Structure formats: structure tokens, C-alpha cells
Chain A
Amino acid sequence: MSKDKKKSKGFSSTLFGRLFGKKQDIDSILQEEQMQSPMRTVIKNFLSNKLAMTGVIVFLCIFLFVLIAPMKYKLDLSFQESTQTNIAPGFDMMKLPAELKKNVAKISIGPSYGVGIDKNGTFYIWGKTQITPNINLRNLPKELYGKKVIDVAAGYDHVLALTSDNEIIAWGNGRLKQLDVDPDATRNGKIVQMIAGYQVSAVVTDKGNCYTWGNSAVTDVRVKQKQQGKIAKVAFTADAMIGLSKEGEALYLGSQKNMYSEIPEELESGVVDIAASGQSCAALKEDGKVVIWGSATKGEKDVPETASKIVSLQGGRFHYTALTEDGKLLAWGQNNYGQTDIPANATKEPIANVYTGYYQNYVVSESGKVATFGLKGYLLGTDELGRDLFNRLINGGKMTMTIGAIAVVISTVLGIIIGGISGFFGGKVDMVLQRITEMVSSLPFLPFAMILSSIVGGRMTETQRILMIMVVLGVLSWTGLARLVRAQVLSEREQEFVTAARAMGVKQMSIVFKHIIPNVVSVIIVQATLSFATSMLTESSLSFLGFGVALPRPTWGNMLTGCFNSVVIQNYWWRWVFPSIILGICVICINLIGDGLRDAIDPKSNER
């Protein structure tokens, strides 16, 4: 080694030498050994351990990620979205097939997929089409093959296609009569609008009649006899249907009295277009004024100011888009998935058509180009309540790591104090402390933590409960470290430096904590690292069983709670695979680091 050094005195080493002081050449291995302090040996040993270093790097990456990412991806505990449940990972929700991109005739949007037809009448479907474990909307019905499709409509869990020979083909989930097409729909006149909503569908004919079918228990659809013959257009909210009469009046097409049925008076005439979001309705007046009614809690009422007149309206899940007469595109409402952030390339060319539905928007330009914005998909999919798994994973990771870290701090402090006192003073103090240690260590950990959490935790707020879990984990797991510290202190206290300190009249407590403990710090670090892993595992197990951090606040453990049935395991694999992998990797890395540290500190164990 020393030979190499003498030979290679390149530019960089000279520069390094000039900048940081020259390292003396080492003549023999013996000298090198003498120069190194024990701490440096430890660090050198550790750095040369590839497995442990990989562990450090991976763990640090995960750690920093779950620490920093939650600042950007905030957790909304009350969030749930029934239209986005159990969606597979991937960003292909708005990925139109290349063939369709050239000549779009119509696009219709479902919660996680899209359907469209081109000008030749060919049908396309894209996105996440697996709507239940058994039903995939991509499995087109046989009747559709070879037919020319002139209109399509995508619903919550079913799709409608109108063929050129005036036949409506429906497929998807038919459990609630979504697929039982009303036979009158195709008999009385030409269909001018076909629309599918939450388990219901409707068609409007050129005679002004509206025919509906599907699950009318959830959605209040009942077109009154006096309304028939007047309808020009209909729109679905999540649970109601509104219509536009040929005379320009906004109508409520249902039998109940609710927030949608109280139509503002100004909409009795002069309405040119209607649209509906999940919980609100919008109507466009002749003068370009947009009137919103219903429950507009997510900013649906904040219609942006615009110089030119609005000419058409489209409704998404909780947002609206509108076109003005000079071709400008406006979007307002909820913006959690970027569904109102209009990209520059969407408005570059004159807009021919805008299709908005759920969280997606498609802008078709007059030259036939398609620009999309809104929800592309989810990196890791969604869970049973439609929550983004990625968001929960990072926020859960933060929680898991925080609890683990604080529990380790508590247990380490307790372990050092009790072990140090016990080892140094010996005698009766040692005897008592040892018995306490044994007692705590023979408390069955998991059951005890569970019963504590059940009895005491029930009366606590969420924060108190989380604190309690940290304390319980810490208070029940210091015994291993205490034993270790005691044993180390027992051997250290016979050393000369302790005698010297005593002779100088140093106080006993400061001998223990200032002179002896620093000498056993390496053992403590190893033990703390390993018990960090254990704490994380225990927290996960507790939360998994439902006695740790309570839902809806996520941790890596309780994210797996709902996953133990064969339907989830088989069909919604992303719900358990990702939390499992990250928890597994994290604990493996911590254990690798702990093992590496132990090997580095204790040369004897290197031989193992």
C-alpha cells in the first residue's frame, strides 16, 4: 500500500495535498495501526462493509423521502372518493390510443377510463377498465364487433354504445339494471343525446322525450309526463338528473325535493346550456352568465371573470370547464388532481371540442389534436376508499418512523440510566433494578400493549393515543439495553480511569454518565439501531391489529389491516404489496446497519 502511494503522485493528489494538508507517507502497517483511533477503525470498518453501506443509503433515501415528501403531499384524513376506489397503479387513464388521436368523433369519460369513437365509427376504450374483480370493460360484447358506432357514453361502471342501425349496446356491471336498456329509447325518434351516470343512463330523442334506466334508488330520475316532449338535453350529478327544455328552461327531472330541485328563478327561461358536477348543477344563460346551484363546496361557484361570453359548459366530478366565444378555455372548481390547470398546449390551437368528466379533461383542437389535463392515474393505485396509496404510504411512513424513533429514544434513555446505575453501584441497588428489569421483560409485550391501548386509549384523543403508543413501546422495551449496559459498565468500572476519577473526587453520578457511558456508547448505538427496527415492527403489528394508530391516520401497519381477504390479495395486489415492500425493505436496511455497526465495533464478531 505504501508503495502505491509513493508511485502515484498525480495532479489530483498534489492538489488535494496542497488544499487539505499533506498526508504523511506510511512506512509500515504497524505505524498505520498506531495512528488510527478506535473510532476511526470503526468508521473504516463500517464504510468498507458493502452490505451495511447499501443499507445506510437505502434507509436514508426512504427516511428522507418520508420526511420531506409529506410536506408536498399533504394528508387529508377525511378524504374519500367513491368513484376512485381500488384503482390499479399506472398513469394511463388519459392515454388515448394512437389511432383515435387523429380523428376523434366523440369522447366520453368514466371515473378511471375513457371511451371514444373516431369518425369511421370505430370504438376505442382506454384507462383503468377493471371495475370489479370480475368485470373488465375492455371485454367488449360480441354484438359490437363489425358495427359502426355513432355515439358512446361512459358511466360509473357501465358503457353504452349507439350503433348506426339505432341499437344501444350496454355492457359492464349489470347488477343494478344498468344494462337493461329501455326498449322505448330506440323506438321513438332519433337519439340526440345518450348519457351514462352513476349506475343510471338516459337518452334524449329528437322528439324531446327522455328515457332512463338503471338504478333509480341512488339517483333520483323520474321524468314527469308533462316534461316529456320538451327536453333538449340532460345532465347527471352523482345522484340526480337535470334537464334543459327546448324553450330554454332548466328542469329538475326527478320526483324528490332536494338541493338540485330548487332551481334559481332566473333559469326559467333563456338557458342555452346545462352541465352537472358531482354535487352541483350549472346553467348557462344567453348572456354568458353561469348560474350554479346545489352543493358547491369545492369552489364550483368561483366562475372566473372573463371578457368574452361563455358559450358552452362541461361538468366534471367537482369542477367545470367552459368555452368562450373567442375560443378561450376556462376551468374552475376543485383542483386536487390538476383538473383545472389548463396546460399551454391545450389552448395553442383553436378548440373544436372539450370533453370533461370526473377528473379528466380532453381538449380536441380543430386540426384534430388532442390535449389532456387532469387525473392521469395513481403511481401506486388507490385503496378501498379511493385514497391515493402513494400519499398514504409516505404519510404513514412518517408516522411509523416517528413512533419508532421516539420509542427508541425513550427506551435508550431508560436503558442507559437503569443499566448504568445498576452496573456501577452494584449491591442492593443492582438487585432491585435487576428484578424490575426481569419483571418488565417478562411482561408479554404485544398482549400487554394491546390491553393498555384498549382500556386507556379509548378515552384519548388521537394525539394522546399516538403519544401513548410511543411511551408504551419505549417503556416496555428498554430491558435488553439495560442488561447490556450493565454488563459493559461492570467490566468498565474496574478500569484504571475509573479509579483515577474516583481518586480525584469526581462525583459518582458523573463517573457513571461522563466517564463510563461514553466508553460503552458503541454498544448502545448498535442496540438502539436494532431496537429501532423492532419498534417499527411492533408498532406495525399493533396498528395492524387495530390497537396502535387508529384509522384513518395511516401507518404502514394499519394500511395492511383491510387487506386480509382473498379478493384484495388477488385482485387489488397493489394495496398490500407496496406497504409490505417498503416496510420490509426499511426494517431489513435498519437491521443490516445494526449488524454492520456491530461487526465494525466488535472485531471479534467480524470472524463470525
Chain B
Amino acid sequence: MLKYIAKRILYIVFVFFMMSIIIFALYSAVPGDPAMMKVAPLKDTMTDEQFEIIYQNTRKTLGLDDPLPVRYVKWMKTVVTLDFGVSSIYNRPVLDALMTPMQSTIFINIFSVILALVITIPLGIYCAVKKFSKFDTAVQVFTIVGYSVPVFIIALVAIFFFAVKLGWFPVSGMNTPNFQGNAFEFFVDRMYYLALPLFVMTLSSLGGMTRYVRAAMIDALRMDYIRTARAKGLKERVVIYSHAWRNALLPVITLILGWFLSIFSGSIVIESVFALNGMGRVYLSALNNMDYNLAMGIQMFYIVVTLIGNLLIDLSYGIVDPRIRITK
């Protein structure tokens, strides 16, 4: 197992460096001249020749004229130390500016993942056990709609009914402006504002998840050992939850983690729609305002999250399914 983990981690590191090359290629394609940006304010205070000298010096210190591999190594050094430069819209170091949005994004995502799991797993199992029943058919139709309709349309419909028509929830935002109160009241207020986005996020992920759980469960229920278990006279509940579900869990874990990753980037839409102060929205405004330092930092965050997620998928496979860690 240790060898397996080590191998995977090594592989992840390799992939990270490959990815960083892609990102670096993007980074060097960013329009604009950083040296000129730095010295432009000095232009009026000196003659053209002096300015040219200073400009060339800045280019040299920034290393803009170095060959690409050298620039890549330099850039990599800053990335590894988590130094992404200064964000131009926040006027702060990128990492610093990202702290709060990152927290809220992680909070929203984990919360909605848990919410969705609590609903989809029992629902999927139930549908698999009672397949072709009326309830199952209804759920099937619903789930097709669920995974076909893009999240912003679900959000529109939800806003229309719950925020505009019924007025139960606020249309957008994360907190009442200028909210005063203790930590608990603040949390309640926050949850009131997040209820609708969380609802939409959960709803949009129900479709695919339920179908997947159901399919995995049906596959598991068709196995010979289920027949054996039933023949032994085990209770149906034991057969389903203990024998079938444990085996259906394997594909489901991949799905959950994979989906957990996609939700990070998927929450860009939700955050922009509901004006939540999360990574996605910051990313959007960074791109719209051409704050590429910030955008690169977030892009790196997404990639790291994906890679760690992939590692977790592999490791969880190893834990859940002994066959995998033996063969590899």
C-alpha cells in the first residue's frame, strides 16, 4: 500500500509540473508589458533616454528578456512558494486576497455535497431496489431533466419562484448589508442568504448522482453473491445495505470525488449568479478586469484541487477495493 501511495504521489507531482508548463504558456501569453506597467508612472519625470535606460533595467531585473526555460524556472520558484504576485483589483498579494473567498467556496461546496449525498444515496438505493416501479420511473424522468438543464436555468427558475414570487429568500448576496450581531446570528443570516444557492446546487447535482448510484446498485444487486445471501435466508435489509451497497460504493466513490472537483469549477456559475463572494466570482472578476496574477493563482488552486482529488480517488480505491492495491 505504501509503495502504491508513493507511486501515486510521484505521479501527481509529475502531472503538476506538466500542467504548470501549460499554465506558464498561458501566463507568458498574457497581454501587456509588466516592465512598462512598473515604470510608466516615472515617464513624465525624466527625459526619454533616461526613461529608456530605466525601462531596460526593469526588464532585466524582471527577467523578461531571459530565455523561456530560465523564465519558467524563475516563475516556478515563485509558484512553489505560493507567491503569485500582487492582485491589481484588490491591491494585495494574491494569496491574501483569496483567503476569504476560498473559505466561502469550500464551505458552500462541502455543504452542498453533503446535502446532495444525504439525498441521493438513499434515493438511488431505493430506486434500484424498486426498479421499474412508478416511483422509480418518476425519479428517472426527473433525473434526466435534472442533469440536462444547466445550473443557471435551475437558478433562474428557483429565483423566480422562491425569491421573486414567494419572497422567501433574498435574490443575491451573502449577508444582510452592514449586518450587526453575534457570531451565531451572523451564521443564521449567512445561512438564510445561502439557502437558495445551496438548494440550486444540490438540485443540479441530484440528477446525475442519483442515476449513478442507482446504476451501480443495480449492477451490484445482480451479482451471484446477492443470490447466495438471499438463499442463505439473510434479511433483505442486510442483503441490500451490507452486501450490495458495499460493493456499489466503489464506483460511487469515484463519482463523488470527481463530482466534488467539478463542483469547485461549477460553482463559478452559481457564485456569479447569486453574487456570492467565492473563488468563482473572484475568478470571473479577475478575468473581466484583466487581473491575470489573481486569475493564475485561482487557476493553480483549481488544478491543485483537481490533482489532490485524483489522488484521493486513487487512494480510496485502494482502501475500498483490495484488488487494486495488490495488482498495482
Contact = CB atoms under 8 A, between A and B. Distances in A.
Interface of A: 435, 438-439, 442-448, 450-452, 454-456, 458-459, 533, 537, 540-541, 544-547, 557, 560, 563-566, 569-570, 573, 576, 580, 583-584, 587-588, 590-592, 595, 607-608
B171 A566 contact: yes
B292 A446 contact: no
Interface in B126-155: 131, 144-145, 147-153, 155
Given A591-B147, A591-B148, A608-B218, 13 more contacts: A444-B261, A446-B265, A447-B265, A447-B299, A451-B295, A454-B290, A455-B292, A541-B152, A546-B288, A570-B160, A580-B156, A583-B153, A588-B149
A442 B15 contact: yes
Contacts, number: 131
21 contacts: A443-B303, A443-B306, A448-B299, A450-B284, A450-B287, A451-B299, A454-B290, A454-B295, A455-B292, A456-B29, A537-B150, A541-B151, A557-B150, A560-B156, A566-B163, A566-B164, A580-B149, A580-B156, A584-B150, A591-B147, A608-B215
A451 to B, nearest CB: 6
Select the residue from A442, A540, A592 with max chain B CB neighbours within 10 A.
Answer: A442
B273 interface: yes
A583 B295 CA distance: 30
B269 A588 contact: no
Contact of B26 (A451, A583, A587): A451
Contact of B273 (A438, A447, A454, A564): A564
B156 A569 contact: yes
B298 interface: yes
B89 interface: no
B192 interface: no
A533 B302 CA distance: 24
Interface residues of B, number: 55
Contacts of A607: 218, 222
A35 B56 CA distance: 81
Contacts of B310: 438, 442
Contacts of A458: 31
A32 to B, nearest CB: 26
A12 to B, nearest CB: 36
Contacts of A544: 150, 152, 269
A454 B287 contact: yes
A450 B281 CA distance: 12
B238 interface: no
Contacts of B303: 442-444
A443 B284 CA distance: 18
A587 B149 contact: yes
Given A444-B306, A447-B298, A451-B287, A580 B148 contact: no
B114 interface: no
Contact of A587 (B29, B148, B306): B148
B18 A439 contact: yes
A606 to B, nearest CB: 11
Contacts of B157: 580
Contacts of B144: 588, 591-592, 595
B268 A446 contact: yes
Nearest to A540: B150
B101 interface: no
A590 to B, nearest CB: 8
B4 interface: no
A580 B164 contact: no
A210 B190 CA distance: 60
Interface string B287-328: 110101001001100110111001000000000000000000
Contacts of B125: none
B172 to A, nearest CB: 8
A580 B153 contact: yes
A458 B295 CA distance: 15
Select the residue from A533, A545, A570, A587 with max chain B CB neighbours within 10 A.
Answer: A545
A348 to B, nearest CB: 48
Contacts of A563: 156
B30 interface: yes
B188 interface: no
Given A451-B295, A566-B171, A608-B215, A583 B150 contact: yes
Contacts of A540: 150, 152
Given A448-B299, A455-B31, A569-B159, A545 B269 contact: yes
B283 interface: yes
Nearest to A452: B26
Nearest to B152: A544
A481 B101 CA distance: 35
B272 interface: yes
Select the residue from B160, B287, B310 with max chain A CB neighbours within 10 A.
Answer: B287
Given A446-B265, A447-B299, A455 B26 contact: yes
Contact of A442 (B148, B288, B295, B307): B307
A448 to B, nearest CB: 7
A438 B15 contact: yes
Interface in B176-191: none
Nearest to A547: B287
B56 to A, nearest CB: 26
Contacts of B292: 455
B260 interface: no
B155 to A, nearest CB: 8
A547 B292 CA distance: 15
A446 B263 CA distance: 11
A537 B262 CA distance: 14
Contacts of B262: 445
Given A540-B150, A584-B149, A595-B144, A443 B156 contact: no
B264 interface: yes
Contacts of B261: 444
A458 B288 CA distance: 11
Contacts of A448: 299, 302
A441 to B, nearest CB: 9
Contact of B283 (A450, A570, A595): A450
Contact of A541 (B29, B165, B269): B269
Contacts of B151: 541
A446 B266 contact: yes
B264 A444 contact: yes
A591 B143 CA distance: 11
B234 interface: no
Contacts of A547: 287
B287 A564 contact: no
